[in-house]
Chains A and B, each alone.
Chain A
Amino acid sequence: MSKPFLSIENLTQQYPDGQGGMMTVFENATFGVEKGEFVCILGHSGCGKSTIMNILAGLAEPTSGVVTMDGREVSGPSLDRGVVFQNYSLLPWLSTLKNVSFGVVARHPDWSKAKVLDHSRQYLAMVGLEGDVIHRKPSQLSGGMRQRVSIARAFANHPKLLLLDEPFGALDALTRGTIQDKLLKIWGDSGQTVFMITHDIDEAILLADRILLMTNGPFARVAESVDITIPRPRNRTAIVEHPNYYAIRNHLVQFLGKRSKDLAGQASDGAAQRPETVRIDLTGTAEDPTPEPRLRAVNT
């Protein structure tokens, strides 16, 4: 089998623990993401999600391990991997519009100024920022508005891989819903691959093809990969009716509530730590031929 589009092999990250020793965030994490896939990662605060993402972005060097994208090793940041940072990371001396056009110019140095501004405006409008607002500085925006600028900046560049670190965390339910829909549309139209960190289980089920579950740190593991067996297009009100919805949701809640703790803190003894694939399908019709509804037991 050939390597997946994005391949993470034996990724280990250690930090000094502040008392002279080393603290292992995760060890030998190994997983892949297929081209065009939408993957969400769930895990408790501090387990190492942002750390993984910084490594995928090429912003941080792992202690050991390799990340490849499209067959090439990730050795530094690239315009092909767009990032929405957890803390927005807008440049405070630039206006909202300039924060977005800054990225567009970097991506398309040959475009005319008018075209760059036009393109930037279009993506700001997509996240609901229009009119006077786009000439304000980030400090004059609300937290949710800043987050949307950061989203517009990343989306406007059409990267092959979108890395989103809790991109909707500061948004109210209504705006969040609209932008989730926009994200799904862009993703559907463009064939981009999305790797997204979230704390919201329902959001993850709505958006993802697959959810990666991380145990608590230190020695966190990407322990499970849960397939979301709900057909697309998904509609936030309709999916709760789907027979698989609550089964999947319960599994995720149960993992985060209990098993993420039970599975935590185990060193890997050098072996690659691959997530177990969990497939929950109560419809009994789809690809999974298993007749009985089942919740896969995980024995570790």
Chain B
Amino acid sequence: MPILSLNQRALLLSVVILVVGLLIWEAAIPAQQAVGELTEYERLTGGGAAKAGVPPPSQVFVKAWEELSNPFYDAGPNDKGIGIQIGYSIYRVLTGYAMAALIAIPLGFLIGMSPVAYKALNPFIQVLRPISPLAWMPLALFIIQDSEASAIFVIFICSIWPMLINTAFGVAGVRQDWVNVARTHELGHFKTAFTVILPAAAPTIVTGMRISIGIAWLVIVAAEMLVGGTGIGYYVWNEWNNLDLTSVIFSILMIGIVGMMLDAAFASLQRAVAYVE
């Protein structure tokens, strides 16, 4: 018998866990399947809310098939395809995140290079960093007066810290030997920053970027639940209000999958800039 490789065995085990998990889930709610169908009817008549139950996985699959076969339909403010909703969320995350990166990375460079800047800015960072990004929401809504921009601001404020701190840390930790190589070759400040310090600190910086994008994706769901209108967070909340638990579960899965893909993108960037000393 051929011996399976480590990866093959792991894959096999993953599939087994998935199948067993789904079977247990399916088996745990046979009675409610009927109830589920009933609620459909009862909801139309406005009376079945209390009996709404957790749907079995088969129902979620059917829902997923429906949604994913037509992800970009737009039938009014409360009925948009899952693709459109996720698109809005990704747009907000990437906008807020990009603005944070544009500020955090150069500022982190400065802090990392200059002990004075580090000492001067550190107290502010230490106070601002532990604030839950959602705590900024009321202030953002009041000052910006725009819910869309406020959501982006919340993403901005939550993703700035890991990038700022990791960039400063990475830049400060660049080995003096490598800087000396740049100096003996008479590289100017900019040349040194781009050809020596940036590649040397890149693994730490990208780690910060990866942490940030993870946090941003966590926060956007909550922010959109507050702000409403569009986005995957709003979608979850809206389906909950409709008591459509099948859609809620489906969108939870989608949040997980998109988060995983964002993380995978940064993981590959991390591999690209990694080096062994």
Q: Is the CB of B183 within 8 A of A92?
A: no
CA–CA, A58 to B186, complex, Å?
11
Q: Is the CB of B177 within 8 A of A77?
A: no
CA–CA, A59 to B255, complex, Å?
53
Interface string of B188-230 (1 = CB under 8 A from A): 0000000110011010000000000000000000000000000
Chain B positions within 8 Å of A199 at CB level: none
Name the one of B177, B185, B275 contacting A85, with C-beta atoms under 8 angstroms: B177
Q: Does A81 contact B (CB under 8 A)?
A: yes
CA–CA, A85 to B180, complex, Å?
10
Q: Does B65 contact A (CB under 8 A)?
A: no
Q: Is the CB of B186 within 8 A of A102?
A: no
Residue on A with the closest CB to B276? Answer: A139
- B20 CB, nearest partner CB in chain A, Å: 43
Q: With A93-B199, A139-B275 in contact, do A81 and B184 touch (Cβ < 8 Å)?
A: yes
- A15 CB, nearest partner CB in chain B, Å: 15
Name the one of A57, A91, A92 contacting B184, with C-beta atoms under 8 angstroms: A57
Interface string of B163-184 (1 = CB under 8 A from A): 0000000000000011011011
Q: Is the CB of B181 within 8 A of A91?
A: yes
Q: Count the B residues whose beta carbon is within 8 Å of the partner chain — how many?
A: 18
Q: Does A106 contact B (CB under 8 A)?
A: yes
Interface residues of B in 33-59 (CB under 8 A from A): none
Q: Is the CB of B199 within 8 A of A77?
A: no
Q: Does A107 contact B (CB under 8 A)?
A: yes
- A22 CB, nearest partner CB in chain B, Å: 22
CA–CA, A91 to B202, complex, Å?
13
Name the one of B180, B185, B202 contacting A79, with C-beta atoms under 8 angstroms: B185
Q: Does A89 contact B (CB under 8 A)?
A: yes
Q: Is the CB of A92 within 8 A of B277?
A: yes
Q: Is the CB of A89 within 8 A of B200?
A: no
Q: Does A137 contact B (CB under 8 A)?
A: yes
Q: With A79-B185, A102-B185 in contact, do A91 and B277 touch (Cβ < 8 Å)?
A: no
Q: Does B257 contact A (CB under 8 A)?
A: no
Chain A positions within 8 Å of B125 at CB level: none
Q: Does A103 contact B (CB under 8 A)?
A: yes
Q: Is the CB of A87 within 8 A of B275?
A: no
Interface string of B237-277 (1 = CB under 8 A from A): 00000000000000000000000000000000000010111
CA–CA, A156 to B112, complex, Å?
33
Q: With A137-B275, A139-B276 in contact, do A59 and B183 touch (Cβ < 8 Å)?
A: yes
Q: Does B23 contact A (CB under 8 A)?
A: no
Name the one of B180, B186, B276 contacting A92, with C-beta atoms under 8 angstroms: B276
Q: Does B187 contact A (CB under 8 A)?
A: yes
Q: With A78-B186, A83-B184, A106-B185 in contact, do A89 and B177 touch (Cβ < 8 Å)?
A: yes
Name the one of B184, B196, B276 contacting A137, with C-beta atoms under 8 angstroms: B276
Q: With A91-B196, A91-B199, A93-B199 in contact, do A59 and B186 touch (Cβ < 8 Å)?
A: no
Q: Does A76 contact B (CB under 8 A)?
A: yes
Q: With A85-B180, A89-B181 in contact, do A106 and B186 touch (Cβ < 8 Å)?
A: yes
Chain A positions within 8 Å of B184 at CB level: 57-59, 77-79, 81-83
Interface residues of A in 41-85 (CB under 8 A from B): 57-59, 76-79, 81-83, 85
Interface-centre pick from A77, A94, A139 (highest chain B CB count, 10 A): A77
- B260 CB, nearest partner CB in chain A, Å: 28
CA–CA, A74 to B119, complex, Å?
32
Q: With A85-B177, A85-B180, A102-B195 in contact, do A93 and B185 touch (Cβ < 8 Å)?
A: no
Chain B positions within 8 Å of A89 at CB level: 177-178, 180-181
- A154 CB, nearest partner CB in chain B, Å: 9
Chain B positions within 8 Å of A106 at CB level: 185-187
Residue on A with the closest CB to B177? Answer: A89
CA–CA, A57 to B186, complex, Å?
12
Q: With A137-B276, A139-B275, A139-B276 in contact, do A93 and B200 touch (Cβ < 8 Å)?
A: yes
CA–CA, A76 to B183, complex, Å?
8
Interface-centre pick from B180, B185, B187 (highest chain A CB count, 10 A): B185
Chain B positions within 8 Å of A57 at CB level: 184
CA–CA, A79 to B181, complex, Å?
11
Q: With A89-B178, A91-B178 in contact, do A107 and B276 touch (Cβ < 8 Å)?
A: no
Chain A positions within 8 Å of B183 at CB level: 58-59, 76-77
Q: Is the CB of B180 within 8 A of A59?
A: yes
Chain A positions within 8 Å of B276 at CB level: 92, 137, 139
Chain A positions within 8 Å of B195 at CB level: 102
Q: List 13 A-B contacts (CB under 8 A).
A: A77-B184, A79-B184, A82-B184, A83-B180, A85-B180, A85-B181, A89-B178, A91-B196, A92-B275, A93-B202, A102-B195, A106-B187, A139-B277
A-B CB proximity, top 7 nearest: A139-B276, A106-B185, A93-B275, A77-B183, A89-B177, A77-B184, A92-B275
**Can you name 18 extra interface pairs (CB under 8 A) apart from A59-B183, A83-B184, A103-B185?**
A59-B180, A77-B183, A77-B186, A78-B186, A79-B184, A79-B186, A82-B184, A83-B180, A85-B180, A89-B178, A89-B181, A91-B196, A91-B200, A93-B199, A93-B273, A106-B185, A106-B186, A137-B275
